[in-house]
Amino acid sequence: MTAPKVLWASRFRSDPSPELMNLSRSETSHFRLAPYDLVASSAHARELVRSGLIEKAEGERIQAALASIGTDIQAGAIHPSSTDEDVHTFLERILMERLGPLGGKLRAGRSRNDQAANDLKLYLRDRSRRMALDLLGLQEALAHQAERHIFTLAPGFTHLQPAQPVSFAHQLLAHAQGFARDIERLRDWDRRSARSPLGAAALAGSALARQPELSARELGYDGPCENSIDAVGSRDHVAEFLFVTAMLGVNLSRLAEEIFLWSSRQFRWIELDDAYATGSSIMPQKKNADIAELTRGRSARLIGSLTTMLTALKGLPFAYNRDLAEDKRAAFEAVDTLAAVLPAMAGMVRTMRVNVEELKRQATEGFTLATEVADWLARRGVPFSEAHEITGGLVRYCEDRGIGLEDLSDEEFATVDPRLDASIKSCLTPEAAVTARNAYGGTAPERVNEQLARLRSLFHDQRKWAIHYDGPRT
């Protein structure tokens, strides 16, 4: 006995048309789910033994055959054929070639519906942890740079206009904070996704595999899905995963945008390592931040994958519909994109060189110390609205003369307002401005040090989550 070319054709009088099979056949990338399908099949075989549908010895033969198939796939010894409609057809064909009719017994009590939902969920739970580890590589690069530049002064911006001096480490860690939330979103997503669809069968549950809680535990889930229709017909966990990756893509794109600015000749804040930059085929002098540009572009793919999934889901009736096959295309696109982007971004950040003196020089350009004048007046009892007006007048005075606040003499301060005495000058340095922001979360070096320590502790916790996982890995 050989496996049928398709798993659903027993009631049909003729073979499916080439046009149907061309549309129906899974893309080559979908066969990456084979290891997860095999481990789930192994769990299902144990369930069939428990149910008495197959003998213990038969179960052991099936288990051994599944293991050997996995080994051969990993070694590249076997491949899907052009007639294998999907990963399930491929694996059943190989199993029946090796075991004959015994291989056909494994299909009892399950459907491609719960298999497909389960395979992708296992894949995403595994890959979410790999993604977290890759993102932690970027986080460590940011933390390493921040540790070196806690006392490096830099201009902070709002509306891309000079605003106030900050520690450059504080600027770097602003990105690290967003990425830390991305990992927390992955962890939170994983908690909601830790329910197994296996045992739901086509939609109503299985009359043969009746202990799905045991299979769920074997596969690293917290338990089976509560509702068999929901188990096979819902993909909100895929949409949510894609939201997390899209949000991560947006955060990566924002960092990329800053890398463009920082490395430009106009800013001159950083220089990229040659190994993480490209040139021009016509302009020999060029050094381009292509990794950042590609990352910004790939973020569009991540947003597109989320949009694809939400659009596919919005009009579906309950239980399984073939529209749901779009879940794999969207999920694989997101996973593959981030697998390429994250290590490249981490290397670029880790190796970039910071121009400390240029940053310090720019830290006070554009009257970034003006807020220090207003705060100094407010501490002396001047209503802040009035202090704001006085400081604005001081800035106008400097602009008219082409000088900075730090260039004003004692007499010039007093000319603008007699309350501006000589003691104000102690506040008008970028060091003083940064040190003064010493509330929790501020840019003062001591606060940045504390922030960095808390982040490193969080990184340690997130790494533990990513490494210690009871489900199947490939």
Catalytic positions, please?
A: 159, 280
Q: What is the DSSP letter of 106?
A: G
Q: Which residues does residue 155 pair with via DSSP β-bridges, in sequence order? A: 165
Closest C-alpha among 57, 133, 61 to residue 96: 61
Specify the residue for token string 């290590």: 343
The vertex-125 CA angle with 45 and 174, nearest 5°, equals: 175
Asked if residue 253 lies in contact with residue 295, where contact means CB atoms within 8 angstroms, the answer is: yes
- The CA-atom distances, in angstroms, between 261 and each of 214, 258, 266, 271, 292 are 54, 5, 8, 11, 11
Cα dihedral sign, 85-86-89-90: positive
Which pair of structure tokens corresponds to residue 215?
């299979």
Computed on alpha carbons and rounded to an integer, the radius of gyration of the chain in Å comes to 30
Q: Which residues does residue 162 pair with via DSSP β-bridges, in sequence order? A: 157
CA distance 284 to 195: 56
CA distance 147 to 167: 11
Specify the residue for token string 């806690």: 150
CA distance 158 to 264: 19
End-to-end CA distance of the chain: give it in Å, rounded: 32
Count Cβ atoms below 10 Å from residue 385 Cβ, excluding itself: 9
Closest C-alpha among 184, 192, 124, 126 to residue 331: 124
Q: What is the DSSP letter of 163?
A: E
Q: Contacts for 116-119 with beta carbons within 8 Å, 24 or more apart?
A: 116/86, 116/88, 116/324, 116/325, 117/197, 117/200, 117/231, 117/232, 117/235, 118/36, 118/40, 118/196, 118/197, 118/198, 118/219, 119/33, 119/36, 119/37, 119/40, 119/87
Asked if residue 409 lies in contact with residue 451, where contact means CB atoms within 8 angstroms, the answer is: no
CA distance 61 to 67: 10
For the chain, helix (H) and strand (E) counts, in that order, are 18, 6
Q: What is the DSSP letter of 60?
A: H
CA distance 268 to 360: 12
CA distance 249 to 205: 38
